[in-house]
Chain A
Amino acid sequence: MSGDLVPVPAPAHDGNEIAVILMVTGMIEYRNRMIATFLDRFEQGSDRLHQERRPRGFKKHSEELIRVADRIHELAQDNAYDVRNLMVHFDRQRELGDSDGGNTGHHGAVSYIQ
């Protein structure tokens, strides 16, 4: 069959794109585990606050809870940020694919190899 033009679906993603999605989803899962850990810590801190009777201890536990809450907030923010970036990356790739006659970029393109 050498010499014939055989339509072959282009690979959906190259190595870089697969690396991008694996990195983003991996980081989201990692951050989620961190969030779960911090939520546990928050719950424990809340219990300690519940049992605390000294004003100084009350202040200490409250401040720790605020720090933990801030950390959870940052992690959730990072997750949303990464996914937004992924969407932007996706749109850019799609635009590139469209402008290049549809033969590069993402899915649906068909390449011809000999």
Chain B
Amino acid sequence: MVVSGEVAAIGAEGDQDQQSAGLPTESREWYFRVSAEYSSLLVGSELERIFQYTANVDTHAHNLGILWMTEPFPQDLFIQEAVSIIEQSDAIEDNVATLKNTVVRFMHAGKSDNGKMPRSRRGRRRIVRRRSAPVHPKDQDPGQQGGGMP
């Protein structure tokens, strides 16, 4: 939510600048600047977290190896370390999914702002008007009818 507030603030500032300069309110430049700043805000914190999780997994894996060789075998500690690795790996997956969603959102937003038609309209088939009216089968040349083998 903090991030969206930041975006709103950046957007308002951009509007003011552009209005004062006499430029259109929604320019492409402005959009890409805001979206990139938005992504860098999100990506920065998410990346830090993933780096941290990765370092934690490394430590737990190292501990796992040591515990495996320890006599007597510390079973509870071993399970604890293994569960930690699974949890941290799941956390990495969640954070990466957040990153990916952020990028996908920008990609779609960028498509609709790059001067082309929105995605929903771009895919529609163009209606091509026929130049001549269709000929009724009755009016066709008898030689052309049938079409099958004699």
Contact = CB atoms under 8 A, between A and B. Distances in A.
Contacts of A46: 39-40, 43, 47
Interface string B83-123: 00110011011001101100110110011011100000000
A55 B62 CA distance: 45
Interface in A87-113: 87, 90, 106-108
B43 to A, nearest CB: 5
Most chain A Cβ neighbours within 10 Å, of B58, B103, B111? B103
Contact of A25 (B50, B64, B90): B64
Contacts of B96: 69, 72-73, 76
Question: Chain A: interface secondary structure?
Answer: helix
A27 to B, nearest CB: 9
Interface in B27-85: 28-29, 32, 36-37, 39-40, 43, 47, 50-51, 54, 57-58, 61-62, 64-65, 68-69, 71-73, 75, 78-79, 82, 85
A6 interface: no
Interface of A: 9, 12-13, 17-18, 21-22, 24-25, 28-29, 32, 35-36, 39, 42-43, 46-47, 49-53, 55, 58-59, 62-63, 65-66, 69-70, 72-73, 76-77, 79-80, 83-84, 86-87, 90, 106-108
A77 B68 contact: no
B62 A25 contact: yes
A70 B82 CA distance: 24
